[in-house]
Structure 1
Amino acid sequence: MNSSYAVGDLRVSDAEREAVVERLQEAYAEGRLDHEEFDMRTHLAMTVKTRRDLASVTLDLVPVQAAGVVGGPATPEDRILGAAAHALAVPTLFVGPLVLMLVGGKRSEYIRRQALEAVNFQVTLLLVTIVTFGVGGMVYAVAWILSVIAALFALTGQSFRYPWILRLVK
């Protein structure tokens, strides 16, 4: 087996592709890409084979850190508030996480990301409940479990993405 491959020659994983597509979505939302270029780059991100080719898809886009977004490692206080955003969603639906996003999100990008994810999850659940005339309310039992799991992830400094939700709030 030849171990002389450069890192750029290694094959791309689905997780790496997803991260690049998310960055492209951010760039599109920021107005850095027009619709046609966004479609083309998304297609490239999903079809390239190597890490070097994948890196070329976002090479000319300014990294989020350099664009003035507050970053860095999450402080213990940030992690607690990020976990609180998920935990507050249980009794208050989207109101608690929304308040944390608006207040704490100005101070910390980590808190904003966690609260934003909780808000989108709760808004999705609310829409499902409304569309199904209340029948979707049975999903809230599962939602509480997912909120606890997301809070634990936030306490450890990791990001958690709820599955199958609409990300309406950006």
Structure 2
Amino acid sequence: MEGMNSSYAVGDLRVSDAERDGVVERLQDAYADGRLEHDEFDTRMQLAMTAKTRGDLAVITADLASAPRFGAVDEAPTGEDRMLAAAAHAVAVPTLFVGPLVLMLVSGKRSEYVRRQAAEAVNLHVTLLLITIVTFGVGGLLYAVTWILSIIAAFHALAGRTFRYPWILRLVKEPRPGISG
């Protein structure tokens, strides 16, 4: 034990997989929000996965710290909120954007979590409808994929996690934590 220094700075402490996972989630959110370019995202992901100390991780997200993370909610969603959010994704399969829109307008006033998830489902199906119109119906083949994504999103919502569909137009904006609207 002689020669060991027990006065390490916090930044010099080794990181755990859980700490790396938190940074990876923050980077994924920043990329999904458009705050990181693809190349920068790849570089930072590599750095996060190979980081040894807390200081290494802090550098990776230093310029992202002040931006609000999407999906951060002041309070954990209730069981009812999770069920309604899951329903917003699931009801989109037979009703397209109409069912999630109704849930967003009715239940979204009461719960920010439900509003976010319903808005995401509305955005997906409006995007898909526009693709179908522009491609003269050929884009309708994507509906099979969206049914699978809707089921995955519903399970995420039931677990109280935020789900973001990839490559969609976000015409209906989700509220940010602490911002009413």
TM-score between the two structures when normalised by the length of structure 2 = 0.65
Q: Deviation digits for residues 62-85 of structure 1, max 9, x if unmatched?
A: x57xxxx96311100001100110
> What residue in structure 2 maps to residue 57 of structure 1?
63
1:5 to 8, 13, 25: 13
CA distance in structure 2 between the partners assigned to 1:94 and 1:87 by the alignment: 11
CA distance in structure 2 between the partners assigned to 1:82 and 1:134 by the alignment: 29
Q: Is the 8 A contact 2:91 2:99 kept in 1?
A: yes
CA distance in structure 2 between the partners assigned to 1:80 and 1:166 by the alignment: 25
Q: Deviation digits for residues 33-62 of structure 1, max 9, x if unmatched?
A: xxxxx7xxx47x74665332244314455x
CA distance in structure 2 between the partners assigned to 1:124 and 1:165 by the alignment: 6
Name the SS for the 1:122 alignment partner: helix
Q: Deviation digits for residues 105-163 of structure 1, max 9, x if unmatched?
A: 22111101110110111011101100110111122122222212211221121222222
Q: Runs of 5+ in structure 2 lacking a partner?
A: 1-11, 48-55, 174-181
Q: Runs of 5+ in structure 1 lacking a partner?
A: 26-37
CA distance in structure 1 between the partners assigned to 2:20 and 2:164 by the alignment: 25
CA distance in structure 1 between the partners assigned to 2:119 and 2:97 by the alignment: 10
Q: Is the 8 A contact 1:128 1:136 kept in 2?
A: yes
Q: Is the 8 A contact 2:108 2:114 kept in 1?
A: yes
How big is the alpha-carbon RMSD for the aligned residues of Structure 1 and Structure 2? 3.2
C-alpha distance 22-137 of structure 1, shift in aligned 2 (>3 A)? closer
Q: Is the 8 A contact 2:27 2:61 kept in 1?
A: no
What is the identity percentage for the equivalent residue pairs of Structure 1 and Structure 2?
57
C-alpha distance 19-147 of structure 1, shift in aligned 2 (>3 A)? closer
* Structure number with bigger Rg: 2
CA distance in structure 2 between the partners assigned to 1:86 and 1:147 by the alignment: 5
> What residue in structure 2 maps to residue 131 of structure 1?
134
Name the SS for the 2:13 alignment partner: coil
